């Protein structure tokens, strides 16, 4: 029985160490905008971006986020297929590759 004790201790140690992993370890931190980028942030809203993407034929728009470069990014459906979509600061809506 004494030869199993080190194995049991190692297993308990590993199991205990897993409890200390933060729950959000898989999430990436938000992108920090540089002062130069912040100076150029426009006043567009998520509602504006959703409206433009919908007008361009995209549906089921989700995960709508604005980057420091004023581009709105989202996941959506177009012609029955999932795709990425972006709205550029100049108002152009175009597809964006999904990873």
Q: Are 84 and 65 in contact (CB under 8 A)?
A: no
Q: Are 48 and 18 in contact (CB under 8 A)?
A: no
Domain coordinates of the chain in residue numbers? 31-99
Q: What is the pTM of this model?
A: 0.61
Percent above pLDDT 90 for the chain: 48
- Cα 10 to Cα 5: distance, rounded to the nearest angstrom: 9
Query: Per residue in 1-45, pLDDT tens?
Result: 556 555 555 555 554 544 444 443 344 455 566 665 555 667 889
Percent above pLDDT 70 for the chain: 57
Q: Are 58 and 51 in contact (CB under 8 A)?
A: no
């Amino acid at each position: 029985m004494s030869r199993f004790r080190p194995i049991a201790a190692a297993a308990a140690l590993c199991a205990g160490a897993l409890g200390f992993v933060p729950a959000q370890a898989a999430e990436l931190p938000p992108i920090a905008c540089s002062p130069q980028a912040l100076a150029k942030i426009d006043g567009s809203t998520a509602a504006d971006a959703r409206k433009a993407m919908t007008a361009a034929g995209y549906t089921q728009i989700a995960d709508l986020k604005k980057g420091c470069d004023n581009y709105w990014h989202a996941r959506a459906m177009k012609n029955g297929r999932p795709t990425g979509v972006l709205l550029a600061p100049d108002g152009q809506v175009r597809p964006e590759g999904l990873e």
